[in-house]
Amino acid sequence: MALTAEGSRLTEANRVNQLRIAAQASVVANALWSRLDPAKLDASSPAWLAANVATAQTFYGRSADATAQYVERYRLAEIGPNVEPIVFPEFDSAYMSEALLVAGPVRVKLLAGRGMTGAKAHSEGKRKFLGIMRRQVLSGGRQLIDETTGADSQAIGWRRKSDGNPCAFCAMLCSRGPVYRSADKAGDPTAGSGLRYHGHCGCTAEIVYGEWQPTQQEQGFIDDYERAAQEANDAGFARTQESVLPRLRANGAFRDSPISRNK
């Protein structure tokens, strides 16, 4: 958790604000979805894609701007006046175009190729696409945290903070604490995994100064992960995401665990 109660409050306020920005982007993307004609995908895709990339760029900027304001207030609460830079990420139009194209028209074609009617594929594709739009928009703030932490000599890293009801994958990443962008973890293959957010993810990122102390819930994530990892070892497997994550999901009470789904 943050060093101060005010720091924790600011982080949660930023998380909620980021989801609000993502929801606004989703409203626009939802309205634009009708421009993608399932009967004329190739013909309708270029104009649809251009409109969505412009939407993503607008809200990506809002996500980054809001996060920069949060970081300034958060640092003041945590460590006092700080002259370290806030690093704004660069919007990558080519990458954004590819991500939205694959999540939109390409996915609709894939669904149609599996036997769905054009209208059904169009409808089924929309939910997935809106999740990807949310993720791409929120990468503005998430990347700002990542790059700013890398330029902050006082930060020990940043940590992933869940929305309180994470899937097993997000809980696993939250359990690792502030390993992301930390100088002493530069060679750790897990250090780059913090930016792996799924489409409808409610997690946020928080810069950590000083010693990180997990909350009671986060300690539960750590304990659950260790149990799943030990189960993998006992079954003769190394501790990898592929061997641990299914056991973590199956035996935990996460959003995508059987016990939660059955409820």
Q: Which two tokens stand for residue 109?
A: 């074609």
Positions of the chain with pLDDT under 70 = 182-194, 259-263
Span 11-42, pLDDT tens digits? 999 999 999 999 999 999 999 999 999 889 99
Give the start-to-end residue ranges of the domains of the chain: 1-154, 155-263
Span 158-198, pLDDT tens digits? 999 999 999 999 999 999 999 998 545 544 444 456 678 98
Model pLDDT, residue 252: 86
Residues 6 or more apart from 260 whose CB is under 8 A from it?
Answer: 253, 254
Cα–Cα distance, 190 to 168 (Å, whole number): 16
DSSP letters spanning 135-204: HHHHHHHHHHHHHHHHT-TT--EEEEE--SS--HHHHHHHHT-S-BT-GGGTT-TTTTGGG---TT---E
Report pTM: 0.90
DSSP β-bridge partners for residue 159: 206
